[in-house]
Amino acid sequence: MPRPRSLTRSGIAAAALAVVDRDGLAALTMRAVAKELGMAAMSLYRYVADRDELEVLVVDHVLTDLDLSVPPGPWRDRIAGLLERMRAATQAHREVVPLVVRHRHAAPASLRWIEATLAVLTEAGFTGRRRVVAQRTLVAYLLGALQNEHYGPLSGSGTAAMAELSISDFPVLAETAAQARALPPADEFRAGLAIVLDGLSAAASAR
């Protein structure tokens, strides 16, 4: 196959993302991306060392246009905005969720998002170990929520199966699952985030 006239890392990332969006994460291989680009697989190794580097490129590409501006206002509103934007960017490419979890420390765009959240927390008075725990708690919630939506959405078969459990054996679980099926993903995310931010606010007030 002839090599494209110009090949950039951004172009490679876009081709890799196209493969993932169309065929799923399991289809992401150097060979598949090379085919998407119209080149020989071995030629792609001149630009990307291995699949790990390819995955980092995909994550960075998905998050590269993430809006990190945080207008003045209550710190928890600013943090919520940053988390909402990260969720929205990832939701646009659901198959990339596992890659965001795996490579958040390596993708430059992800690092910039982490820096932005830390800056807001710092302005809110979180420093030292308290800032570490606060930021880790927010990231843990975000990643957990993304994985829940990806692998076990409330609208999925798992919730439906739990809703059909015997009332005599699982009265609270069956009732909760039946209610959960009607909860929109965005509402679930925001309500859970509010609980996390309430806890962080209480910790900041008790300082």
Per-residue pLDDT of 2-30, as tens digits, reads 444 468 999 999 999 999 999 999 999 99
73: left (phi over 0), alpha (psi -120 to 50) or beta: left
Query: Among candidates 28, 5, 30, 31, which has minimal Cα distance to 18?
Result: 28
What's the CATH architecture for 69-205?
A: Orthogonal Bundle (1.10)
Radius of gyration in angstroms for the set of CA atoms belonging to the chain, rounded to a whole number: 20
- Is the CATH code 3.40.50.300 the one for domain 9-48? no
For the segment 28-41, what is each residue's pLDDT rounded down to a tens digit? 999 999 999 999 98
The answer to whether the CB of 90 falls within 8 A of the CB of 84 is no
Query: Among candidates 35, 36, 47, which has minimal Cα distance to 7?
Result: 47
Domain boundaries, the chain: 9-48, 69-205
In this predicted structure, what is the pLDDT of residue 71? 86
Span 90-105, average pLDDT: 93
In this predicted structure, what is the pLDDT of residue 12? 96
In this predicted structure, what is the pLDDT of residue 207? 66
In this predicted structure, what is the pLDDT of residue 205? 78
The answer to whether the CB of 162 falls within 8 A of the CB of 152 is no
pLDDT level of residue 181 (50, 70, 90 thresholds): very high
Whole-model pTM? 0.88
Span 191-199, average pLDDT: 96
Low-confidence winner among 20-29, 142-151, 198-207 (lowest mean pLDDT): 198-207
In single-letter form, the type of residue at position 122 comes to T
Span 51-64, average pLDDT: 96
Percentage of the residues of the chain whose pLDDT score is greater than 90: 87
Span 60-76, average pLDDT: 93
Average pLDDT score, the chain: 93
In this predicted structure, what is the pLDDT of residue 1? 45
